[in-house]
Amino acid sequence: MVFEDLSKKKPKILVIGDLMIDHYLWGEMTRISPEAPVPVVNVKNETITLGGAGNVIKNLKSLDADCAILSVIGTDDNSKIILNEISKLGLDTENVIIDETRTGSKKSRVVVSNQQVLRIDREVTSPISELVSDRLIDQFAKIIECYEIVLVSDYGKGVISESVSNKVISLSNSLNKRVLVDPKGADFRKYEGAYLITPNKKEAYEATNLEILDHESLEDSLKSLKQKYNLDVALITLSEDGIAVYENSLEIFSTKAREIYDVTGAGDTVIASLGYCLASGLKINEAVEFANLAAGVVISKVGSSIATFEEISLFHDSIEPRTKVLIEDQFIKKIAKIKS
């Protein structure tokens, strides 16, 4: 894969979905509480970053895509932090609709020795109102023609209601814009007609009622997803076993991870990478190969992470056999990349 050529692309990508805050408390655990049989964590550092659909946006920005976010948040302090984090990325917040009846979602994770030991969620999961849904779709209709591809990041927090999903996919298809969906829940009917969806094995089982035990049952599950939900491509993420894809036949792309520290946000990296590559003109198998590499980078980090072209390229070089003899300009480029 020629990363230099791909990195020159700047595809225009629209992300629609649930925004939230990923909040991390980093600390040490040295004793058990005298008040109850629970560990005591001495917090050394505290960080916040965009999560949910915001993490998809961060992954796209790390690839230097021209992207935008369409979502709904509230007026509370968490919502204000979300808006501020979007602005820090250099993105406009004009497509983020304010609903005074809602609050911003926040996931707080306690991390000790690079391992999560506790997560605390503050969130609203009720679907957005019909009035707000109409506003969201109206805004989507105004801007969709400016973008090459649409990524739907459904975290089940209410923004991607059945009505919103159906209208986004229908309008996009009418304009020949592909829609990629990172799904949530067991009912995939609201994603019908999308270009592809990215369920894991558990989600695929819930959507098809077909348990994945071997290659044959995996292919049956993929075929069922493709036919049942009228997809162009069926895809299932297989955790440590990689990604399985079915367009005209089954292809399995084995995992590229060397070490797994934290899978938080790996799904965001996959859909962002797929969207970037497809919008840049790559075929689905090339896009999945790249997404697999990007996911391998982020799960070797702790916390919700992103992968840059440089990291993906170096990671690719480290796991693929390469000749030890390089011509001079290749050698100079290789040294410059490693030094950076």
Helix (DSSP H) and strand (DSSP E) numbers for the chain: 11, 13
Residue among 62, 63, 54, 29 at smallest CA distance from 44:
29
**Which residues neighbour 3 within 8 Å (Cβ) at sequence distance 6 or greater?**
309, 312, 313, 316
Strand partners, 22: 49, 107
Pairing of strands 12-17, 19-32: unpaired
Residue 331: both structure tokens together: 């050698």
Strand partners, 15: 69, 151
Instruction: Residue 42: count other Cβ atoms within 10 Å of its Cβ.
Output: 10
Render 288-324 in DSSP notation, one character per residue.
HHHHHHHHHHHTTSSSS----HHHHHHHHHHHS---S
- How far does Cα 5 stand from its chain's mean position? 23
Active site residue: 99, 154, 262, 268, which one?
268
Pairing of strands 19-32, 39-52: antiparallel
Residue 274: both structure tokens together: 């797929």
- 214 carries an active-site annotation: no
**Which residues neighbour 247 within 8 Å (Cβ) at sequence distance 6 or greater?**
232, 233, 234, 284
Q: For residues 45 and 43, what is the distance between their CA atoms, to the nearest angstrom? A: 6
Residues forming the active site: 268
